[in-house]
């Protein structure tokens, strides 16, 4: 790529670098400003593109000499990001939004406009570096990036943290917010306020962050910024008179966003003279360098080579390498209060540098550790078993390393008579469970079987003792338990008014209790229900999207436990109870689930030399039954007539043999049958 590109604008030739980071004023040029478009929305696409091109050219032009190559310029821009700026010129902010409202696209454009990423290296979803994120088009992990931006001829350091949008990854969002002073609230100008928009705003308000509302996708034909701004004011109660109108895809309004970040988000406190306290907000395991921790320096300074101490784990190491994320790792000699960076200290044990721990100096320890993060409570549980039993140690190591990167994951060992050794894992939701399983299979080359998702029940025994049970096989016998309580969630569904009826029907089918309905705009309503979590961990979200043609969104919070009429549904094959197939269901649904499971097993289990009964039972009462007929030899083939008693004798002899065979016979349930039935359980439970 050539280092410079001559571009003629308004009879003025400007020499543009490949991608420079400084704002450079151009004399005698009259560029249209995107802020001048506010009265005409949505403006014509052609004018948006023209303005975007002119705006980008005007704001990213640098002043390199003709003999400076593109590589030298890129190196200079990279070095500029490492130059120290006063603490008053540092801004730490994150981007929060509902799924698919344009967070990652906006982050890409900010990186491009500020010259943080060279144009030749730029690609869509630049910060989403997992294949899984690119395939699904969602953000799973928070990502940090340091940018340099010149505002009013004064250089500023902007630390951006891009966050996920799905409710299952809200723990990532909360950790990001704790490392920032401000947040960009991105709302789609055509979709409006959605469920996760509200949830993320409340998280930001809890952390006392300065929130800048940004209306994205104004270039879409269906965009209505005035309506959406009014919706934000009515639903959230936030003043939108100074909301920024932008199109991340077309590059409109990006400079206004950067200016607003500098002008409206407060700088961090200057506490460099205090004892070092740094908060670890993320980490991952590198097979060559060990644990790499991402941290925000709250107080004091950290230098390369310092002996550091982790307060919660009580371990100490030497900081072999420190630096900033921009967005790739760039080494630095020293980091000050208010800055965000990474640390490599040859940490081999994943337990030594956990998310939420406080880093301080070994020689000058801080008196108080930082508050850290609230311990996350898993909502959904399932069993993870390796297909090959020899892979159990690899699965344990993989889960430990993945837990370092995803602090919301919880696990404990579990044994199953059918599937051997594995782990009982806790997740924040179904998507979280699916992503973890895929990451284990892709990143660690494991073949896994997952059991049906379940929730934690509280079981009160006859002796008044309370136990928590997430595995149906551990549920006490009916005579030993007094009652069972299940977790309930408060669920809020935001939907266009056309789909209110079908969503109400869906909620009532799932034992939900109606609480409130209100119109947040002329054609959008909010439905609030209280529902058992067990009813939501199946295909509720899929059904919600299907019935509303993709327009509805939902958000839920745990509100406590309530007593319910729940039973343990056992599956018996040839009279033997198969623990991995047991489930806890509501009494009213037990027959339907039992019938579906027995019919599926009849199709999957191969025929034996004897008759195999398949039963679904509640305690000793069988509620659904199927039978696999025996493979029979035709013992009457050699009889060419004669008395009937001869045939009866042969048939009786065969029946006695089958009876003996059944008494000592064992039915092997194939792995494929388990996997198919577990998949069915996920659909019907």
Residue 30 pLDDT > 60? no
Q: Across residues 65-78, what is the average pLDDT?
A: 39
Answer yes or no: is 190 a known binding residue.
no
Collect all residues with Cβ–Cβ distance below 8 Å to 589 and sequence separation of at least 6.
Answer: none
Instruction: Tell me the β-bridge partners of 573.
Output: 576, 614
What is the CATH superfamily name and number for domain 380-451? Elongation Factor G (Translational Gtpase), domain 3 (3.30.70.870)
> Measuring CA to CA, which residue among 558, 373, 548, 360 is closest to residue 455?
558
pLDDT of residue 658: 62
pLDDT of residue 48: 40
Maximum distance among all Cα pairs of the chain, rounded to whole angstroms: 118
Answer yes or no: is 99 a known binding residue.
yes
pLDDT of residue 69: 41
Residue 456 pLDDT > 80? yes
Q: Across residues 541-570, what is the average pLDDT?
A: 82
Of the ranges 3-7, 151-155, 660-664, which is most confident? Answer: 151-155
- Using pLDDT thresholds of 50, 70 and 90, give the confidence band for residue 492: confident
Report the alpha-carbon distance of residue 685 to residue 680 in Å, rounded. Answer: 8
Residue 257 phi/psi, 5-degree rounding, is -65, -45
Q: Of all residues in the chain, what percent carry a pLDDT higher than 70?
A: 76
Of the ranges 131-145, 202-216, 344-358, which is most confident? Answer: 202-216
If one compares 678 and 216, the residue with the highest pLDDT of the two is 216
Answer yes or no: is 165 a known binding residue.
yes
Answer yes or no: is 40 a known binding residue.
no
* 569, 580, 604, 614 from 625: Cα distances, Å: 13, 18, 15, 6
Report the alpha-carbon distance of residue 103 to residue 194 in Å, rounded. Answer: 14
> Measuring CA to CA, which residue among 589, 582, 544 is closest to residue 564?
589
- Using pLDDT thresholds of 50, 70 and 90, give the confidence band for residue 70: very low
CB 70 within 8 A of CB 91: no
| Residue extent(s) of CATH 3.30.70.2570 domains in the chain | 567-682
Report the alpha-carbon distance of residue 22 to residue 61 in Å, rounded. Answer: 7
Residue 4 pLDDT > 60? no
pLDDT of residue 670: 63
| Residue extent(s) of CATH 3.30.70.870 domains in the chain | 380-451
SS (H, E, C) 440-481: HHHHCCCCEEECCCECCEEEEECCCCEEEECCHHHCCCHHHE
Q: Of all residues in the chain, what percent carry a pLDDT higher than 90?
A: 0
Answer yes or no: is 564 a known binding residue.
no
DSSP 36: G
Residue 308 pLDDT > 60? yes
* 249, 480, 559 from 562: Cα distances, Å: 47, 19, 10
CATH of domain 277-361: 2.40.30.10
Q: Does domain 458-564 have CATH number 3.30.70.240?
A: yes
Report the sign of the C-alpha dihedral through residues 616, 618, 624, 627, in that order. positive
Block residue for tokens 């941290």: 295
If one compares 393 and 581, the residue with the highest pLDDT of the two is 393
If one compares 621 and 420, the residue with the highest pLDDT of the two is 621
Answer yes or no: is 164 a known binding residue.
yes
Say which range, 176-180, 187-191, 479-483, has the weakest mean pLDDT: 176-180
Instruction: Tell me the β-bridge partners of 293.
Output: 283, 343
Domain 567-682 - what CATH class?
alpha beta
Q: Is 439 exposed, middle or buried (0-12, 13-18, 19+ CB in 10 A)?
A: buried
pLDDT of residue 192: 80
Residue 544 pLDDT > 60? yes
Q: Is 550 exposed, middle or buried (0-12, 13-18, 19+ CB in 10 A)?
A: exposed
CATH ID of 79-264, from 3.40.309.10, 3.90.320.10, 3.40.50.300, 3.40.50.12780: 3.40.50.300
Report the alpha-carbon distance of residue 316 to residue 246 in Å, rounded. Answer: 47
Collect all residues with Cβ–Cβ distance below 8 Å to 197 and sequence separation of at least 6.
Answer: 97, 98, 101, 185, 187, 236
Report the alpha-carbon distance of residue 611 to residue 272 in Å, rounded. Answer: 78
Q: Across residues 341-365, what is the average pLDDT?
A: 83
In this structure, are strands 481-496 and 466-469 parallel, antiparallel, or unpaired?
Answer: unpaired
- Using pLDDT thresholds of 50, 70 and 90, give the confidence band for residue 58: very low
Residue 328 pLDDT > 80? no
> Measuring CA to CA, which residue among 306, 308, 293 is closest to residue 333?
306
Answer yes or no: is 101 a known binding residue.
yes
| Residue extent(s) of CATH 3.30.70.240 domains in the chain | 458-564
Answer yes or no: is 105 a known binding residue.
no
pLDDT of residue 40: 44
- Using pLDDT thresholds of 50, 70 and 90, give the confidence band for residue 529: very high
Q: Using DSSP, state whether 542 is helix, strand or coil.
A: helix
| Residue extent(s) of CATH 2.40.30.10 domains in the chain | 277-361
Per-residue model confidence as pLDDT tens digits over 634-654: 666 677 777 777 777 777 777
Answer yes or no: is 166 a known binding residue.
yes
Other CB atoms within a 10 A radius of the CB of residue 245 amount to 22
Answer yes or no: is 498 a known binding residue.
no
pLDDT of residue 125: 54
Report the alpha-carbon distance of residue 636 to residue 30 in Å, rounded. Answer: 102
pTM: 0.66
pLDDT of residue 49: 36
Report the alpha-carbon distance of residue 433 to residue 441 in Å, rounded. Answer: 13
pLDDT of residue 33: 39
Q: Across residues 491-502, what is the average pLDDT?
A: 86
Per-residue model confidence as pLDDT tens digits over 621-631: 888 888 877 77
| C-alpha neighbours within 13 Å on the C-beta side of residue 217 | 20
- Transcribe 356-393 into DSSP letters: T-EEEESSS--SS-----PPP---EEEEEEESSGGGHH
* Burial track 254-293 (b if 16+ CB lie within 10 A, e otherwise): bbbbbbbbbeebebbeebeebebbbbbbbbbbeeeebbbb
CB 618 within 8 A of CB 625: no
Q: Across residues 223-243, what is the average pLDDT?
A: 83
* Burial track 615-653 (b if 16+ CB lie within 10 A, e otherwise): bbbbeeeebbebebebeeeeeeeeeeeeeeeeeeeeeee
Residue 330 pLDDT > 60? yes
Q: Is 594 exposed, middle or buried (0-12, 13-18, 19+ CB in 10 A)?
A: buried
pLDDT of residue 681: 57
Answer yes or no: is 163 a known binding residue.
yes
Report the sign of the C-alpha dihedral through residues 219, 221, 226, 227, in that order. negative
Q: Using DSSP, state whether 141 is helix, strand or coil.
A: coil
* 108, 247, 251, 255, 349 from 103: Cα distances, Å: 9, 11, 13, 16, 34
- What are the structure tokens assigned to 233, written together? 């004011």
Report the alpha-carbon distance of residue 46 to residue 589 in Å, rounded. Answer: 57
Residue 20 pLDDT > 80? no
| Residue extent(s) of CATH 3.40.50.300 domains in the chain | 79-264
> Measuring CA to CA, which residue among 375, 207, 368, 210 is closest to residue 299?
368
Residue 345 phi/psi, 5-degree rounding, is -135, 30
Block residue for tokens 């060992």: 413
């Amino acid at each position: 790529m050539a280092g410079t590109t001559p571009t003629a604008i308004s009879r003025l030739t400007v020499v543009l670098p490949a991608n420079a980071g400084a704002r450079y004023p151009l004399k005698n040029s009259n560029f249209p400003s995107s802020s001048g478009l506010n009265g005409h929305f949505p403006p014509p696409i052609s004018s948006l593109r023209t303005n975007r091109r002119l705006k980008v050219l005007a704001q990213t032009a640098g002043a390199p000499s003709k003999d400076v190559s593109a590589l030298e310029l890129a190196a200079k821009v990279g070095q500029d990001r490492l130059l120290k700026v006063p603490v008053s010129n540092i801004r730490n902010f994150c981007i929060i939004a509902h799924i698919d409202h344009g967070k990652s696209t906006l982050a890409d454009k900010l990186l491009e406009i500020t010259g943080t990423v060279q144009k030749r290296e730029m690609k869509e979803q630049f910060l989403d570096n997992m294949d899984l994120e690119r395939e699904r088009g969602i953000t799973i992990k928070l990502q940090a990036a340091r940018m340099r931006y010149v505002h009013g001829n004064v250089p500023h350091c902007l630390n951006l943290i891009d966050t996920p949008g799905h409710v299952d990854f809200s723990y990532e969002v909360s950790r990001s917010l704790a490392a920032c002073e401000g947040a960009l609230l991105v709302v789609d100008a055509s979709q409006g306020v959605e469920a996760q928009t509200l949830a993320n705003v409340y998280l930001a308000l809890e952390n006392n962050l300065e929130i800048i509302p940004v209306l994205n996708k104004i270039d879409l034909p269906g965009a209505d910024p005035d309506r959406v701004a009014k919706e934000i004011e009515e639903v959230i109660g936030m003043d939108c008179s100074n909301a920024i109108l932008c199109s991340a895809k077309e590059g409109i309004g990006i400079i206004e966003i950067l200016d607003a970040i500098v002008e409206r988000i407060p700088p961090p406190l200057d506490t460099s003279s205090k004892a070092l306290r740094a908060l670890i907000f993320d980490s991952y395991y590198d097979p060559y360098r060990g644990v790499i921790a991402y941290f925000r320096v709250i107080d004091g300074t950290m230098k390369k080579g310092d002996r550091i101490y982790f307060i919660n784990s009580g371990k100490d190491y030497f900081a072999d390498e420190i630096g900033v994320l921009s967005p790739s790792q760039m080494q630095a000699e020293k980091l000050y209060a208010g800055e965000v960076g990474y640390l490599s200290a040859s940490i081999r044990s994943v337990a030594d540098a956990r998310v939420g721990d406080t880093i301080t100096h070994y020689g000058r320890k801080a008196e108080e550790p930082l508050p850290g993060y609230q311990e996350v409570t898993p909502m959904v549980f399932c069993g993870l078993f390796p297909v090959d039993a020899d892979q159990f140690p690899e699965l344990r190591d993989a889960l430990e390393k993945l837990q370092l990167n995803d602090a919301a994951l919880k696990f404990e060992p579990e044994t199953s008579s059918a599937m051997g050794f594995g782990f009982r894992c806790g997740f924040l939701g179904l998507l979280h469970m699916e992503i973890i399983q895929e990451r284990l299979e892709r990143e660690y080359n494991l073949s896994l079987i997952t059991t049906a998702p379940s929730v934690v029940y509280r079981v009160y025994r006859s002796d008044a003792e309370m136990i928590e049970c997430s595995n149906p096989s551990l549920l006490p016998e009916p005579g030993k338990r007094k009652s069972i309580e299940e977790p309930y969630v408060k669920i809020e569904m935001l939907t266009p008014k056309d789909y209110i009826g079908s969503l109400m029907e869906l909620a009532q089918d799932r034992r939900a209790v109606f609480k409130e309905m209100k119109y947040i705009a002329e054609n959008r309503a909010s439905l609030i229900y209280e529902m058992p979590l067990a009813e939501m961990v199946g295909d509720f979200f899929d059904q919600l999207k299907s019935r509303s043609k993709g327009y509805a969104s939902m958000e839920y919070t745990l509100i406590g436990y309530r007593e319910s009429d729940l039973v343990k549904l056992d599956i018996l094959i040839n009279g033997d109870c198969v623990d991995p197939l047991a489930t806890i269901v509501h009494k009213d649904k037990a027959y339907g689930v039992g019938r579906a499971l027995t019919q599926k097993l009849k199709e999957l289990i191969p025929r034996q030399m004897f008759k195999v009964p398949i039963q679904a039972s509640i305690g000793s009462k069988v509620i659904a039954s199927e039978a696999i007929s025996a493979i029979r030899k035709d013992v009457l083939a050699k009889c060419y007539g004669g008395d009937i008693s001869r045939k009866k004798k042969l048939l009786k002899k065969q029946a006695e043999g089958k009876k003996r065979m059944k008494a000592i016979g064992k039915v092997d349930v194939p792995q494929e049958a388990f996997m198919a039935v577990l998949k069915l359980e996920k659909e019907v439970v």
